[in-house]
């Protein structure tokens, strides 16, 4: 880009503030809220530079209402690493606008929804199931600070022959990291699947428990955290936590 081209552009927020008219800060809020388009394409970066020839449009229903923090529920596929980068964005390719589930399309998607997120309940790369990312400090406090009081439900595919009295031991009587585990709820779903309902689950805990009773873990899927179940959310897709839902 030549110097003359650079000089012919201005910040998008300046153009918007002159169009409406409004203050520069209000213009930035309109842009960050996803209400402004440049040549028909929504632009959410207030610092974006535009030329005088480009068409700027502000949505008729644009509002300056506060953009509320969101919580995202993802059905993580096995083999994907659900983690958070330095910028607070998930290092996960399947968390994008395109992978949002069809039943969640009524809520507006903003790029800022994928930043400043907290991964509340990590899930091993080899496991699948419900993963929660949140911008809401209340959700983070509930699922991170109070994790020992929030029950998770995990379906575990196992192989091998369980030892005598093994199911009872899984429910209560096994140690982990040198400490006795509190009572939990474990039951057979079928001949090869166990259902674990437990609080404050630690990394490697379920694999260790199964090994102690003669079983090997083939696969794990988390289907519920607190009162929020994964339900029919397809593998690799995500949705927003709704206002009426509580963990």
The predicted structure's pLDDT at residue 108:
86
The predicted structure's pLDDT at residue 229:
97
The predicted structure's pLDDT at residue 88:
58
The predicted structure's pLDDT at residue 1:
43
Please report the sign of the dihedral spanned by the C-alpha atoms of residue 36, residue 41, residue 42, residue 43: negative
d(CA 118, CA 110): 17
Q: End-to-end CA distance of the chain: give it in Å, rounded.
A: 51
**pLDDT per residue as tens digits for the range 90-121:** 666 677 888 899 887 778 899 889 888 899 99
Per-residue burial over 102-112, b = 16 or more CB atoms within 10 Å of its CB, e = otherwise = eebeeeebbee
The predicted structure's pLDDT at residue 89:
60
Please confirm whether the linkage preceding 211 is cis (ω < 30° from 0): no
**What is the token pair recorded at 243?**
């206002």
pTM comes to: 0.83
Collect all residues with Cβ–Cβ distance below 8 Å to 94 and sequence separation of at least 6: 74, 76, 77, 80, 236, 237, 238
d(CA 105, CA 111): 15
Local confidence pLDDT in tens for the 247 residues of the chain: 445 445 689 999 999 999 998 999 999 999 999 899 999 999 989 889 999 899 999 999 899 988 899 999 999 999 988 877 665 566 666 778 888 998 877 788 998 898 888 999 989 999 999 999 999 999 999 999 999 999 999 999 999 999 999 999 999 999 999 999 999 999 999 999 999 999 999 999 999 999 999 999 999 999 999 999 999 999 999 999 999 999 9
């Amino acid at each position: 880009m030549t110097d003359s081209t650079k000089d012919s552009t201005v910040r998008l927020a300046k153009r918007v503030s002159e169009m409406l008219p409004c203050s520069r800060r209000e213009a930035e809020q309109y842009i960050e809220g996803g209400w402004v388009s440049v040549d028909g394409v929504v632009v959410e970066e207030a610092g974006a530079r535009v030329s005088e020839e480009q068409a700027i449009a502000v949505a008729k229903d644009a509002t300056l209402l506060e953009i509320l923090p969101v919580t995202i529920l993802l059905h993580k596929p096995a083999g994907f690493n659900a983690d958070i980068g330095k910028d607070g964005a998930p290092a996960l390719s399947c968390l994008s606008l395109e992978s949002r589930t069809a039943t969640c399309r009524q809520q507006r998607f903003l790029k800022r929804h994928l930043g400043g997120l907290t991964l509340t309940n990590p899930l091993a790369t080899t496991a699948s199931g419900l993963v929660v990312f949140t911008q809401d400090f209340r959700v983070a406090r509930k699922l991170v600070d109070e994790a020992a009081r929030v029950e998770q439900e995990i379906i575990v595919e196992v192989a091998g022959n369980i030892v005598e009295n093994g199911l009872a031991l899984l429910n209560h009587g096994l140690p982990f990291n040198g400490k006795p585990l509190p009572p939990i709820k474990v039951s057979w779903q079928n001949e090869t699947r166990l259902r674990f309902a437990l609080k404050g689950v630690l990394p490697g805990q379920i694999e260790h428990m199964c090994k102690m009773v003669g079983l090997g873990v083939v696969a794990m899927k988390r289907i519920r955290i607190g009162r929020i179940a994964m339900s029919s959310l397809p593998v690799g897709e995500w949705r927003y936590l709704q206002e009426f839902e509580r963990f």
